[in-house]
Homo-oligomer: A and B are copies of this chain.
């Protein structure tokens, strides 16, 4: 939020100036999926369901993580950035880009509902969560920044998706709420601003 990812110190860790990135001893790494795989592999004692050793299960996790990049992620970021985060941070709002983002997001939610979640409580037919559930659920959590009515309109038709988000929250409690605290604080701020603007517009229309 303070643009520290554009500082020379951060660029020495990730020259792309994007979050997240990690430093483990002398080893630097960026890209969230690569980091999740590294953490599961580098530290003993991480339960195997997060990143299974079984080749077939692991390959399916790679498949859904790769799919995520150009579908769910691109849709969510396209909608939330162009309708909320951008305009609140001095970028021009872009209704066309937001609309295209929402279209891809809705298409991706349907694929989650009807394909990725069809065989189990968690992604790719798993009974326990993996790094893929963490990555995709956290992406969807950005939608909390939308107005409540938009959030409800977009997500509620996808019953399995809604249940899966709840299941992932439970499976990662209490850490889930802890790491999302900053998001909920941003949500409160955005919604207050929008409410103020809506009152202003109402007053203007009466003058």
Chain A positions within 8 Å of B, measured between CB atoms, are 15-16, 27, 29-34, 37-38, 41-42, 55-56, 59-60, 62-63, 65-67, 69-70, 73-74, 111, 115
Beyond A16-B111, A31-B63, A69-B69, list 19 extra A-B contacts (CB 8 Å). A27-B59, A29-B60, A29-B63, A31-B62, A31-B67, A32-B66, A33-B62, A34-B59, A34-B60, A34-B65, A37-B59, A38-B59, A41-B55, A41-B59, A42-B55, A66-B69, A69-B70, A70-B70, A70-B73
The main secondary structure of chain A at its interface with chain B is helix
Is A66 within 8 A of B33, CB to CB?
Answer: yes
Q: Are A34 and B66 in contact (CB under 8 A)?
A: yes
Chain B residues, CB < 8 A from A41: 55, 59
